[in-house]
């Protein structure tokens, strides 16, 4: 399978994730969208690694997965704390940190 297919799929997933980050009004959905973006990038890495016959793409994917797991843990914890604080999951409710 030519690399173009993988990259198109990766691009589509990244676009869906980005759109989710900007358009959804729920913090948990936002986190999910970020995960989709990360995985789109992972797909691109693996595809390039196969194309050039190196293991670099695979290795960096593992790193990204680890970071994503940690991010999910911390992110969800923050979301729970925020929810307890404001009874809301809308990001627009949390704008008090400004001048």
Partner 1 sequence: MLALIPLLPFGGFLVNAFFGRRLPKSISGGLATAVMAISCVISVMQVMTLAGMTPETRQINQVLYNWISAGDFSLDLALRLDALSAVMILVVTGIGSLIHLYSISYMHEETDPEYARYFSYLNLFCFFMLMLVLGSNVLVMFVGWEGVGLCSYLLIGYYYEKKSASDAAKKAFIVNRVGDFAFILGALLMVVTFNSLDFNTVALAAKGMPAETATFGTLSIITLLMFIGATGKSAQIPLYVWLPDAMEGPTPVSALIHAATMVTAGVYMIGRNAMLFEHAPMTLTIVAIIGAATALFAGTIGLVQNDIKRVLAYSTVSQLGYMFLAMGVGAYGAGIFHLYTHAFFKACLFLGSGAVIHALHGEQDIRNMGGLKKHIPITYWTFVIASLAIAGVPFLSGFFSKDEILFETFVESHRLLWGMGILTSLLTATYMFRLVHLTFHGEERFSRGTEPHGHVADGGHGAHGAPHDAPWPMATALVVLALGSILAGYVNLPHALGGHAALHEWLTPVFNATNCGQEVTSGALAGMAIEECAPVEERDPAEHAKTEITLMIVSSLIALGGIGLATYLWLKHKEIPAKLAAQYPGVHRLLLNKYYVDEVYDATIVQPIKVVSTEGLWRGFDVKIVDGAVNGAGYFVSGVSIVLRLLQNGSVKTYAASMFAGAVAVLAYYLWR
Residues at the site binding partner 1, with contacts judged by CB under 8 A = 18, 21-22, 91-92, 94-99
Give whichever of 22 and 53 is closer to partner 1, judged by the CB atom: 22
Angstrom distances, CA of residue 57 to CA of 4, 26, 45, 49, 95: 16, 32, 5, 4, 38
Least distance from partner 1 to the Cβ atom of residue 94, Å: 7
Least distance from partner 1 to the Cβ atom of residue 53, Å: 26
- Under the phi-then-psi rule, with left for phi > 0, alpha for psi from -120 to 50, and beta for the rest, what region is 87? left
Least distance from partner 1 to the Cβ atom of residue 57, Å: 20
């Amino acid at each position: 399978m030519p690399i173009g297919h993988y990259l198109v799929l990766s691009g589509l997933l990244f676009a869906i994730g980005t759109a989710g980050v900007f358009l959804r009004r729920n913090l948990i959905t936002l986190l999910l969208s970020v995960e989709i973006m990360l995985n789109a990038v992972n797909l691109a890495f693996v595809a390039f690694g196969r194309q050039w016959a190196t293991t670099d793409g695979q290795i960096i994917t593992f790193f990204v997965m680890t970071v994503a797991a940690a991010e999910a843990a911390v992110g969800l914890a923050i979301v729970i704390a925020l929810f307890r604080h404001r009874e809301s999951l809308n990001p627009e409710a949390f704008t008090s940190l400004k001048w």
